[in-house]
Amino acid sequence: MERPWLSCYEPNVPESISYPETPLHQFLVNSAERFPEKEALSFYGKGLTYQELDEATNQFANALKTLGIRKGDRVGIMLPNVPQCVIAYYAVLKLGAVAVMTNPLYVASEIQVQMADSGAQTLIALDFFYPRIEEILKETPLKNIILTSVRDALPWLLSLLYPLKARREGQWIKIQKTPPIYDMKHLMKSASTQAIVETVTLDDLAILQYTGGTTGIPKGVMLSHRNLVVNAIQCRNWMPSLEEGKERFLSVIPFFHVYGMSTCMNMGIFLGATLILQARFVTKDVLKAIDKLHPTIFMGIQAMYVAINNFPSIKEYDLSSIKACISGAGPLHQEVQRQFEAYTGGKLVEGYGLSEAAPVTHANPINGKRKAGSIGLPISDTLAKVVAENDFTKTLNIGETGELVVKGPQVMLGYWKNPEETENVLRDGWLYTGDMACMDEDGFFYIVDRKKDMIKTKGENVYPREVEEVLFQHPKVQDAVVVGIPDHFSGEIIKAYLVLKEGESATDGEVVTFCKERLAKFKVPKAVEFRTELPKTIIGKVLRRVLLDEEMKKIKGDA
């Protein structure tokens, strides 16, 4: 097939890559050999070198082995971005076991569903999460619970002060750690630092990455070592200016999400970079970290860049160390991009991916040609096309809107124990994304919206992103989303939910007038609601479904 995007590649970005025939954890082993004294992890003032990190993963792998964990076993990891998360992840992979990345914000029932579906018999988690785990122990296959504390990873002074802070914030918990409950630190102390000898191939299953649930019941995406090795190296080659052993990654995007896992943790470890860990996104803490620790790379999402742009005292912080950022997990609006680049002097570009592709398939060039509103070009070794929504055998022409489909070595093996859903999205090696898109003459792709998010009003199709782009241009608007609300006369009406910048006020009429000057009449919101915040997933995707559910309850209440 024709690949017009190749002519727009940044210099030194290859059309195709030769990938190593080694499993994912070899990234860590290689970096430990090349940069043994280089700081691998930095966590609130405490560092861990690559040699220390490699030895720690060996210790934990040996500890897990003593608990009976073997190749192919599923192991849940329910941790934020703390050093123990990185240690647990690579230790599980060294055993040939399968990491089941679990969102720490899950409630008990969600944890139960994921553990039961995956068949995980071991779960590694923060001690603070244990009450939720305890609720569902009898309803899962779990046999071993390994707990750790943020305190264990802190420098000695902060470690002494941590209990006071945790008690003040209601996050202090004491648990009797007797089998089947184990203490991670204690298990590691008595374990060998010798490397585990286990044959792991590129085609072996590495992780089960459960979809976020924003499109229905979560499904376990099966990603092999090959999928993850390939995607980390694809991302590295997309950024040819990065220097091995010298970069510093601001690591606040969660590693339990495949976006943070691939573009930050795996790519960072592959490069021999320092990962500056942040357990959660707090705007002031992130700004302090950039100012003091000088990260060069900041993988994030639009919500993070919006928060930074609108921080009242942003000019007090030196953000000039930031060289490159890729915004994923949703659209990057042009005004957000412009403001962030003005504050940092670095490059912020939009990329695209999905869990089923490990996740990256597209990105705008960092230092080359880029186009506003585009997700960019298919990355090395990746094919993409747009097919007719109702006839997947028909490839559409330039500028026509249809479903985006992709193919490449990063595409998943399938859904865990779900062949029917797998067949729905994988056809002849092509992954059907469910996103409506178009391609221009240069091979740049544009996500119009998810099929399910398209609003149909008075016979016209309206894509939320187009309306949201206009709303973000309003000088008083900090965050925005639009949703189609069922309406007897129009089919659906467009409703905008807005968060205003601090200290600002606005009226419905003001917003509607602003939109009328910039949009066709049928695209203008018919209702506006101001909020202090929008419902979002932990990585910042707006939960349109939550807003729609609220509206449906109102409609039923009025009926």
List phi, psi (to 5°) of 125.
-150, 165
Pairing of strands 391-395, 383-388: antiparallel
pTM (predicted TM-score): 0.83
Please check whether residue 267 is in contact with residue 301, taking contact to mean a CB–CB distance below 8 angstroms.
no
The closest alpha carbon to 330, from 492, 101, 534, belongs to 534
Confidence class for position 3, pLDDT limits 50, 70, 90: very high
Instruction: Report the alpha-carbon angle 252-131-539, nearest 5.
Output: 25
Helices (H), 357-453: 419-425
In order of 178, 293, 354, 536, the CA distances from 134 in angstroms are: 14, 38, 32, 26
Model confidence pLDDT, tens digit, residues 76-130: 999 999 999 999 999 999 999 999 999 888 888 889 989 999 999 999 999 999 9
With a CB cutoff of 8 Å and minimum separation 6, the contacts of 313 are: none
Cα dihedral 538, 541, 545, 549 sign: positive
* 472 token code pair: 């973000």
452: pLDDT strictly greater than 80 = no
156: pLDDT strictly greater than 90 = no
Domain boundaries, the chain: 461-558
Q: Can you give the pLDDT at residue 135?
A: 93
The overall average pLDDT reported for the chain is 92
Q: Can you give the pLDDT at residue 518?
A: 85
* 114 token code pair: 């994921």
Q: Can you give the pLDDT at residue 358?
A: 97
List phi, psi (to 5°) of 48.
-140, 125
With a CB cutoff of 8 Å and minimum separation 6, the contacts of 555 are: 486
Instruction: Answer left, alpha or beta for residue 502, where phi above 0 means left and psi between -120 and 50 means alpha.
Output: beta
Check whether domain 461-558 has CATH 3.30.300.30, yes or no: yes
Which residues pair with residue 78 across a beta bridge?
125
Residue whose tokens read 């055993």: 95
213: pLDDT strictly greater than 60 = no
For the chain, the maximum distance between any two Cα atoms, rounded to a whole number of angstroms, is 70
Which residues pair with residue 439 across a beta bridge?
445
Helices (H), 49-124: 50-66, 83-94, 108-118
Confidence class for position 137, pLDDT limits 50, 70, 90: very high
DSSP 8-state secondary structure symbol assigned to residue 36: T
Cα 404 to the center of its chain, rounded Å: 20
